[in-house]
Chains A and B, each alone.
Chain A
Amino acid sequence: MAQLQAHFYTDNKKYAVDDVPFSIPATSEIAEVSSIINKLLEAKNEFHKHVEFDFLIKGQFPQMLLVKHMELENISWEEVVELEYVEKYTAPQPEWCMLHDDWISSIKGAEEWILSGSYDRTSQIWSLEGKSIMTTAGHTDVVKDMAWVKKDSLSCLLTTFLWEWNVERNKVKSLHCGRGHAGSVDSIAVDNSGTKFFSGSWDKMLKIWSTVPTDEEDEMEESIKQPRKKQKAKQLAHTEAISSVLWSDPEEICSVSWDHTIRVWDAESGGLKSTLTGNEVFNCISYSPLCKHLASGSTDRHIRLWFFGVVSFTSHTSWVTSVKWSPTHEQQLISGSLDNIVKLWDIKSCKAPLYNLAAHEDKVLSADWTDTGLLLKAVDQGCRRLSDNTGHCPCSWLPTRTRW
């Protein structure tokens, strides 16, 4: 049987093995190579527990036998093959689903709660176990996006409405109502300190608001590119509707729009810092503080990673509506698309996703992670689910919990 010279290495010091090439049978499967590593580790450390590993050859996860993968990718047998191994992620499983009366437009996870906004003009707070804790009604229009302002002070924020939620008494109090947008507000983002948030709207404007309560009714602190009379030269933030906004830095905000651009703004002065231009309408954007990259999803079915060059992740078959970086893992992101599939990606392999989460029967409009405590290291992934799209059907909501 043919033998293959392989050199194993890993970034994780915990699982490091000796820096020598090993000879492995060429027809071995991933699981067999994984058990070889485990045996090596057991020989080194008797307390080692069995861990499943996944392997990367030149930045790709082989999905079949090593030999076949190498044949497909034209990797030579003669040299020592560099095999990077990482802990294998087990496939996320759907755990439960939460039922909403109408389409869920957005979802946000927090430490212990999940916030969902719906087309029936309500938003709900759920516990991680899937119990409905609180329903807020009072919106005059469809809830398109929401965000937690401060997780410890327990207040949550909904599109241009500021609500305070008291956990002990389980009551919601409406604090403020932000007025000034001439179109539907599609996206909001809160800065890290929780004192400011800004909103991007269909009326092509970005507005920055303060969350600190004052006596005045309207909290508009500053509005970038005030329309019409004041600054004629640069009237609007974008030439088309703004679809998603986020804080990429405490002083920097980032917005994507239907005019095919991503624009980065200075939060203090409101000046335009840079513009990234694409070819298609951008639907969503996400920024990872861990790997400092922007990821955007657009209507041409690609997820794009913006660093020195642009890397496209292509696997979806319809518009990408949602992209979120993992808050705990610097190389993972999830994406939701109108083709009813949520995909979990590792940025090392841009051709195929790690897992397809196809538990939905209808369009995915939003997806998010919850950053739970350090002990569990669990990741919750929130998605929404519909059985029918006539608009008046029960829809369920399906978090997936994976532990490792």
Chain B
Amino acid sequence: MVGTGADVVAILQDIRNTVGNVPLAWYDDFPHVGYDLDGKRIYKPLRTRDELDQFLDKMDDPDYWRTVQDKMTGHDLRLTDEQVALVQRLQKGQFGDESFNPYEPAIDFFSGNIMIHPVTNRPADKRSFIPSLVEKEKVSRMVHAIKMGWIQPRRPRDTSPSFYDLWAQEDPNAVLGRHKMHVPAPKLALPGHSESYNPPPEYLPTEEERLAWMQQEPGERKLNFLPRKFLSLRAVPAYGRFIQERFERCLDLYLCPRQRKMRVNVDPEDLIPKLPLPRDLQPFPVCQALVYRGHSDLVRCLSVSPGGQWLASGSDDGSLRFWEVSTARCMRTVPVGGVVRSIAWNPNPAICLVAASMDDAVLLLNPALGDRLLVGSTDQLLDAFMPPEEPTLQPARWLEASEEERQRGLRLRICHSKPVIQVTWHGRGDYLAVVLASPGHTQVLIHQLSRRRSQSPFRRSHGQVQRVAFHPTRPFLLVASQRSVRIYHLLRQELTKKLMPNCKWVSSLAVHPAGDNIICGSYDSKLVWFDLDLSTKPYKVLRHHKKALRAVAFHPRYPLFASGSDDGTVIVCHGMVYNDLLQNPLLVPVKVLKGHTLTRDLGVLDVAFHPTQPWIFSSGADSTIRLFS
């Protein structure tokens, strides 16, 4: 340390560093910082003080805060009070001179008032009133650029925001909207007395309660622990299920999305279609009335006389039987010597004739039941036939019955080349359609009784024909093959409609007596109702039977139809058809009729309605015929 403050300033004024305006960092590696006027080195003061000395200086020296280092000489300088005040004024942004007044009043050289004489009286420039040639050239260049399309008008700014609410349009019910439907996990219940380490004695389980708790399933326990009593909190052991419970709680909180299920609250009763009660749809067959016993093998077919007094049945035991409906009396048995596959009573009430198919022949029998005059006139009608002079080539042969056969009731025999599956009469009773079990186009033959002619109506076949039926009112022939039902116009000889039942194998066919509705039974246990006015697709498919359907039938008078199946039941349905074209048919199943026992996995083989009463006959594999009334 050298001298007092005043001396040092004076000395410093004298000893001038003469190195000039060079960075002092150049002298960092030297012991001096420059040269004085005499060209002698100015040495840096010795700096041997360490941090601790500096700290003690700072603590002890009251002027430490006003001491700065002179970089030119490396000596410490103690600032005077005037210098400190100057530094403080400069730090505040004030003028260094304390006496300087920055806010002295200003003297106006130019007044704001308009004077008579201008300050300058210079005339206006020429350029101020002549249009600028430079600008003109610039504008004409821009006009040209606009004409050439080089300058486009500025595109309107896209006002759509570049950032938008991603979820603004979101459907809250969609899967993405699950956050809105979020249901928070339930809060944990606060611990109660039973969780205490020292619960009141009424919370402690008795021995029976403890045993009962052990017996219970973990899911149905009221508490998932047993309250226990400990002497002190220190005696409480570690809780064994702690990790598991925390894990389940975490599952609750994070992993399992809890969301409200949108459950449709529908009364199941409302989903059932409104159908009238069966007892409002009476009459229909309700219970078994009569059993017609006599056949010794399964009864394949049956037919009721048009008056409803007699019943004909054909069986595998090689016989036809004629029954009296009201008493179940077998009036007549006609042995034919072969399986009778199909039988049909002539629908004309003026003719007493039954057609039955036996192997490859169709037998026409006169059962000689009922009015004697009717029986006689039928025989006369058959005998009145005069054979034409030149015999035409026919697909079937018509043979007269022998005298012995006439005794048994047989009148005519139509021989075919293939087994006959089905016979059916036209409503007037003159034409007879026959289905043969042969591939090819001669599966269906139509016989005319009065002229004893046979014809094959089809040129090519569309699959194996299962059933045929005549339309009750119009000249149509319905042909059911395995997968479809075709309706042919007999006069125009063309296909009118093709119905697709959508079932695997059609087994049976029946036409509504009004003619606009058709039902088909199939071996895949479906009953298909077609409304011909609606479409070629099924109007309704009824799947009431458990096994294959064998026969279906319409009642000629009452709004009833029935189906017989291999499961041994006959299901009677109410099928009301309305004259109003806008109203669809009403189909209501009304009764399941049981009675036939299953034999060889076969149940009901044929069903037929009584022509005037709401009664139904069914023939079964148990070699009986049953009447339900």
Binding site for B on A (CB under 8 A): 103, 105, 119, 140, 142, 181-184, 202-203, 240-241, 243, 258-259, 279-281, 283, 299-300, 318-319, 321, 338, 363, 365, 389-391
B contact residues around A105 at 8 Å (CB): 327
* List of A residues within 8 angstroms of B282 by Cβ: 279
From the candidates B283, B327, B330, B612, name the one contacting A258 in the complex (CB within 8 A). Answer: B612
Most chain B CB within a 10 A radius of its CB, from A140, A182, A259, A279: A182
A/B interface sample: 20 pairs, CB < 8 A:
A119-B329, A140-B372, A182-B373, A182-B374, A184-B309, A184-B370, A184-B371, A202-B307, A240-B612, A258-B613, A279-B283, A281-B629, A300-B629, A319-B290, A319-B629, A321-B327, A389-B294, A390-B293, A390-B330, A391-B330
Q: Check A202–B309 contact: CB distance below 8 A.
A: yes
**B289 interfacial contact with A, CB 8 Å:** yes
**Chain B min CB distance to A146 (Å):** 16
Chain A: CB-nearest residue to B324: A142
B328 is an interface residue with CB less than 8 A from chain A: yes
In whole angstroms, what is the CA distance A110 to B425 when docked?
A: 49
Check A103 against B329 for contact (C-beta < 8 Å). Answer: yes
**CB 8 Å contact bits of B281-300 with A (1 = contact, 0 = none):** 01100000110011000000
* Residues of A contacting B374 in the complex (Cβ-Cβ under 8 angstroms): 182
State A240–B289 Cα separation when bound (angstroms).
Answer: 20
The CA-CA distance from A338 to B308 in the complex, in Å, is 19
Chain A residues with CB below 8 A from B327, complex form: 103, 105, 321, 363, 365
State the Cβ distance, B290 to closest chain A Cβ, in Å.
6
| Complex interface: chain B residues within 8 A of A202 (CB) | 307, 309, 370
Q: In the complex, A119 Cα to B328 Cα: how many Å?
A: 12
Cross-chain contact B294 with A390 (CB below 8 angstroms): yes
Residue of B nearest to A339 (CB): B289
User: Which 5 A-B pairs rank lowest in CB-CB distance, beginning with the nearest?
Assistant: A182-B371, A299-B629, A391-B330, A319-B289, A202-B309
Chain A residues with CB below 8 A from B309, complex form: 183-184, 202, 241
A203 and B294 contact, CB distance less than 8 A = no
Complex Cα distance A391/B282, Å?
Answer: 35
Contacts of B372 in A (CB 8 A): 140
Smallest CB–CB gap between A120 and chain B, Å? 11
Closest A residue, CB atoms, query B374: A182
Proximity string of chain B (368-398) to chain A, C-beta cutoff 8 Å, 1 when within and 0 when not:
0011111000000000000000000000000
Across the interface, do B307 and A183 meet the contact criterion of CB distance under 8 Å?
Answer: yes
Complex contacts, A318 vs chain B, CB 8 Å: 289-290
Q: Which residues from A are CB-within-8-Å of B613?
A: 258, 281
Q: What DSSP secondary structure best describes chain A's contact surface?
A: loop
B293 CB to closest chain A CB (Å) equals: 6
Q: Which of B256-310 contact A (CB under 8 A)?
A: 282-283, 289-290, 293-294, 307-309
Question: Complex: how many Å from CA A256 to CA B196?
Answer: 92
Interface SS of chain B:
loop
**Nearest chain B residue, comparing its CB with the CB of A299:** B629
What is the bound-complex CA distance between A283 and B612, given in angstroms? Answer: 15
Residue positions of B touching A, CB distance < 8 A: 282-283, 289-290, 293-294, 307-309, 326-331, 370-374, 612-613, 629
* Contacts known (A299-B629, A391-B329); A183 close to B370, Cβ less than 8 A: yes
- B293's contact among A241, A243, A338, A389, by CB below 8 Å, is which? A389
A103-B329, A389-B328 in contact; A183/B371 too (CB < 8 A)? yes
Cβ–Cβ contact A299 & B371, under 8 A: no
Q: Which residue of A lies closest to B290 (CB)?
A: A338
**Residues of chain B contacted by A283 (CB below 8 angstroms):** 326
- How far is the CB of A237 from the nearest CB of chain B, in Å? 16
Question: A258 contacts which chain B residues (CB < 8 A)?
Answer: 308, 612-613
Residues of A within 8 A of B373 (CB): 182
Rounded to whole angstroms, the CA-CA distance of A119 and B327 in the bound complex is 11
Say how far A100's CB is from chain B's closest CB, in angstroms.
14
Collect the chain A residues with CB atoms within 8 Å of residue B290's CB: 318-319, 338
Known contacts A182-B371, A258-B612: A363-B289 contact under CB 8 Å = no
CA gap between A112 and B589 in the complex, in Å: 55
A363 partner residues in chain B, CB cutoff 8 A? 327-328
Which B residues are in CB contact (< 8 Å) with A142?
331
Contacts of A181 in B (CB 8 A): 371
Query: Which residues from chain A contact B331 at a C-beta distance below 8 Å?
Result: 142
Contacts of B629 in A (CB 8 A): 281, 299-300, 319
A136 to chain B, nearest CB (A): 20
Cβ distance B312 to chain A, nearest Cβ, rounded Å? 16
Q: Which residues on A sit within 8 Å (CB–CB) of B330?
A: 389-391
List the B side residues contacting A182 at CB < 8 Å: 371, 373-374
In the bound complex, CA of A258 to CA of B283 (Å): 14
Q: How far is the CB of B298 from chain A (nearest CB, A)?
A: 18
B residues in contact with A280, CB < 8 Å: 283
Return A230 CB to nearest CB of chain B, in Å: 19
How far is B629's CA from A300's CA once the two chains are assembled, in angstroms? 8
Other 4 A-B pairs with CB < 8 A, given A183-B307, A258-B612: A181-B371, A202-B307, A389-B329, A390-B330
Cβ distance B589 to chain A, nearest Cβ, rounded Å = 21
* A300 CA / B371 CA spacing, docked (Å): 29
- Residue on B with the closest CB to A317? B287
Instruction: Provide the bound-state CA to CA distance between A375 and B516, in Å.
Output: 70
**Of all chain B residues, which has the CB nearest A279?**
B283
Distance A243 CA – B308 CA, assembled complex (angstroms): 13
**Complex CA–CA separation, A202 to B294 (angstroms):** 25
User: Roughly how many angstroms separate A299 CA and B326 CA in the complex, as a whole number?
Assistant: 10
Beta-carbon nearest neighbor of A283 in chain B = B326
Return chain A residues, CB-CB under 8 Å to B612: 240, 258-259
**Measured between C-beta atoms, what is the minimum distance from A156 to chain B in Å?**
23
Most buried by A among B283, B290, B327: B327
Chain B residues whose CB sits within 8 angstroms of the CB of A243 once the complex forms: 326
In the docked arrangement, what's the CA distance between A181 and B329, Å?
22
Tell me the bound Cα distance from A299 to B329 in angstroms.
Answer: 17
State in angstroms the CA–CA spacing of A241 and B325 once bound together: 12
Residues of A close to B293: CB separation below 8 A: 389-390
CB-nearest residue of chain B to A319: B289
List the A side residues contacting B370 at CB < 8 Å.
Answer: 183-184, 202
Contacts of B308 in A (CB 8 A): 241, 258
C-alpha spacing A340/B328, complex, angstroms: 13
Q: B307: which A residues are within 8 A, CB to CB?
A: 183, 202, 241
Report the Cα distance A142→B322, complex, angstroms: 14
Min C-beta distance of A302 to chain B, whole Å: 13
Which residue on B lies nearest to A186, using beta carbons? Answer: B326
Chain B's nearest CB lies how many Å from the CB of A283? Answer: 8
In the bound assembly, the distance between CA atoms of A241 and B310 in angstroms comes to 13
Distance in angstroms from B548 CB to nearest chain A CB is 31
